[in-house]
Amino acid sequence: MRAFEVAIEIEAPMPRDSSPPPADFIRRRSASGFSQSAAEGHSFRVRRASESELPFIKDMVRAARINPTGLDWQRFRVAVAEGEGIIGCGQVKPHRDGTQELASIVVVRNWRGRGVARLLIERLMLDAGAPLWLTCRSGLVGLYQRFGFREVGPEEDQPAYFRRMRRLAGVFEMLAKRGEYLAVMTWDGTHPGPS
């Protein structure tokens, strides 16, 4: 079993190196199915979205100013915190040419930096399998590299959709104003994948 499958099973981020976790790093799954990090006081899990949650997903995606198209609730996974409801979302979007895109990854502000995106991304990768593609602003390349994605250069082979997205981003120059560019990345499944 790969490391990220274990992480999914206990529905909480795993310690990131092979050294033994600190004594107080206790993760357990409660009867309700929520996992818990006693050391960090986080308690959340990832599950499939329901139709009634679509308005909330749309709001999160719009607030994050990421691609608001193709938000089909049936493809979404949501991260849910005990007593707080939805704290994050993400999906794998199929394209006409059969390409699958990891997309719409958003975590609400006050839950960022606590491993919510990690759990969502790992779950989506595990469910969809390789190959996966994505676009992100260049500042997030490091995030996705942690999960085994590699950046694909403009000259490399890539599905037409991603080539088009790159060109469109260049036209609008929104990212260039921030000193960034639209990165295209892919996970081919042969990489060790998420740790």
Ligand X SMILES: CC(C)(COP(=O)(O)OP(=O)(O)OC[C@H]1O[C@@H](n2cnc3c(N)ncnc32)[C@H](O)[C@@H]1OP(=O)(O)O)[C@@H](O)C(=O)NCCC(=O)NCCS
* Member of 49, 71, 89, 117 binding ligand X (CB under 6 A): 117
Smallest separation (angstroms) from ligand X to the CB of 140: 5
* Member of 71, 136, 169, 185 binding ligand X (CB under 6 A): 136
Q: How many residues bind ligand X (CB under 6 A)?
A: 19
Q: Tell me the C-alpha distance between 108 and 63, whole Å.
A: 9
Tokens standing for residue 151:
């950046």
DSSP H or E stretch at residue 160: helix 160-172
Smallest separation (angstroms) from ligand X to the CB of 73: 18
Q: Contact between 64 and ligand X (CB under 6 A)? A: yes
Task: Answer left, alpha or beta for residue 76, where phi above 0 means left and psi between -120 and 50 means alpha.
Answer: beta
By DSSP bridging, strand 150-152 and strand 182-187 are antiparallel
Q: Contact between 118 and ligand X (CB under 6 A)? A: yes
- Per DSSP, the chain holds a count of helices (H) and strands (E) of 6, 9
* Complex with ligand X: residue 57 or 116, whichever CB lies closer: 116
Tokens standing for residue 98:
């059969």
Q: Contact between 150 and ligand X (CB under 6 A)? A: no
Smallest separation (angstroms) from ligand X to the CB of 31: 25
Q: Which stretch binds ligand X (CB under 6 A): 23-31, 70-78, 112-120, 170-178?
A: 112-120
Q: Tell me the C-alpha distance between 171 and 179, whole Å.
A: 15
In contact, 138 and 183? CB cutoff 8 Å: yes
* Member of 105, 128, 152, 183 binding ligand X (CB under 6 A): 105
Residues at the site binding ligand X, with contacts judged by CB under 6 A: 16, 64, 66, 105-107, 112-118, 136, 139-140, 142-143, 146
